Structure 1
Amino acid sequence: MTIGRDAQNGTAGQTRRRLIVGLTGASGIVYGLECLRALRAAGVETHLVMSKAAEMTLAYETDLKAKDVRDLADCAYAIGDVGAPCSSGSFPTDGMIVAPCSMKTLAEIATGVTSNLLSRSADVVLKERRRLVLLTRETPLTQVHLQNMLTVTQMGGIVAPPVPAFYAKPESLDDMVAHTVGRALDLFGIDTGGVKRWKADGAAAG
Structure 2
Amino acid sequence: MPRTPKFHRETALNNALKLFWRKGYHATSMKDIEEEMDMRPGSIYAAFGNKEALFKETLEEYSVLAADDFKQTLAQKSSVLQGLSLYLRNLVVMDAACEPTKACMLVKTLLEFTPEDKAFSDPVRSYLQEFEQLFTDAFELAQQRGEVGRSQSPERLARLLQTNVIGLRTMVRRDIPQEQLANLADDIIARIIPAS
Fold shared, TM-score > 0.5 on shorter chain: no
Task: Please tell me whether Structure 1 or Structure 2 has the larger radius of gyration of its CA atoms.
Answer: 2
Normalising by structure 1, report the TM-score: 0.27
Structure with the bigger percentage of strand: 1
Structure with the bigger percentage of helix: 2
Normalising by structure 2, report the TM-score: 0.28
